[in-house]
Amino acid sequence: MKEPSLPGTSLQRACRLLVAFCALHLSATLLYYLAGSALGPPGSPEPPPRRPPPANLSLPLSRPPPPPAAARPRPPPASSPPPPGPCPEPSPLLVGALRVEFSQPVNLEEVARINPEVKAGGRFAPKDCIALQKVAIIIPFRNREEHLKYWLYYLHPILQRQQLDYGVYVINQDGEEEFNRAKLLNIGFAEALKEYDYDCFVFSDVDLIPMDDRNTYKCYSQPRHLSVSMDKFGFRLVFKGMGISRPDAVIGKCRMIRHSRDRKNEPNPERFDRIAHTRETMSSDGLNTLSYKVLRTDKYPLYTKITVDIGSPNS
């Protein structure tokens, strides 16, 4: 007896096909599953399209330190030089002891020529640094042209080496009345302040020349008497509780131009009595009662000359 082959064979074939289809389906399901888990849970919304990150976040969070200044690219050279700093203290331009003599006559045009940095009216300020003080130098004056020439000849180079922002004010008493030095100094103080915001005032006689440029014409924390060796006047300031600080005797040495006593400048016969009463009179005698009239102001190349009518002796 013969087994029926065809139906068996076709059944086998159908079974194989079914198995192959199942395997295919299984592997397709498996593939789909794997791919789906990588993209997110099925059913989750589509992720938004990726935007490029902002530029500043594109750097790593811990940045490396910036390169040292020297390695950074240099800015283009500035058109103007940096502003100057304060002048050094003491001035590096000082030379110390000076030879002072009055044998040769002085020509003021020549003095102006050798001091080209001094501006009209006798003004100067250092170019390369900011002066530590703005100093008005006040000279009481009448009829002492020759002394003034020496003063200007010696003092301008010294004051420039001291790197001061300064102005020279010659307060010229008009008329033939008694010479009033103290009043001229007060007038000089008031007039100089009208011109510039000076923060220091040096009162200098026209015939006193310092013999050492370390004797700086500037103010210290206390009023300073610059001509130690010519100490003839007691400053009133002492009574106001302000002492006078003195440079040491060598630096403070001044040379005085010898001269005869001027007419109308005789020693005041009342001077000892007046000085003895300074404590009572000083508050009503000075800047708060100052009356005078400026007759003219001349701006010469090396100084400012203010000619004043100081009024009658008791005004």
C-alpha distances out from residue 261 to 21, 53, 235, 257, 266, Å: 141, 94, 22, 12, 7
C-alpha distances out from residue 87 to 80, 132, 213, Å: 20, 6, 16
Q: Interacting stretch for Mn ion, rule CB under 5 A, among 72-80, 153-161, 201-209, 228-236?
A: 201-209
141 binds ligand UDP (CB under 6 A): yes
Minimum Å distance from CB 228 to ligand UDP?
Answer: 14
Q: Which of 178, 262, 266, 298 binds ligand UDP (CB under 6 A)?
A: 262
Residues 16-75 binding ligand UDP (CB under 6 A) are none
Q: Which of 142, 214, 225, 305 binds ligand UDP (CB under 6 A)?
A: 142
**How much is the CA Rg of the chain, to the nearest whole Å?**
47
Tell how strand 123-124 and strand 254-256 pair up.
Answer: unpaired
Half-sphere exposure of 241 (CA within 13 A, CB side): 0
Minimum Å distance from CB 229 to ligand UDP?
Answer: 12
Q: Are 145 and 75 in contact (CB under 8 A)?
A: no
Structure tokens given for 128: 């390369």
207 binds ligand UDP (CB under 6 A): yes
Q: Interacting stretch for Mn ion, rule CB under 5 A, among 2-10, 130-138, 199-207, 223-231?
A: 199-207
Q: Interacting stretch for ligand UDP, rule CB under 6 A, among 71-79, 92-100, 141-149, 281-289?
A: 141-149
Q: Interacting stretch for Mn ion, rule CB under 5 A, among 157-165, 204-212, 288-296, 306-314?
A: 204-212
- Residue 311 and residue 32: Cα distance in Å, rounded? 118
Q: Is 211 helix (H, G, I), strand (E, B) or coil?
A: coil
188 binds ligand UDP (CB under 6 A): no
Minimum Å distance from CB 179 to ligand UDP?
Answer: 4
- Alpha helical stretches, state H, the chain: 5-39, 108-114, 145-161, 181-195, 271-276, 278-281
207 binds Mn ion (CB under 5 A): yes
268 binds ligand UDP (CB under 6 A): no
181 binds ligand UDP (CB under 6 A): yes
Of residues 207 and 213, the one with the C-beta less far from Mn ion? 207
Cβ neighbours for 7, distance < 8 A, ≥ 6 positions apart: none
Of residues 89 and 298, the one with the C-beta less far from ligand UDP? 298
Using CB under 6 A as the criterion, which residues of the chain lie in contact with ligand UDP when the complex forms? Answer: 139-144, 179, 181, 205-207, 232, 262, 265
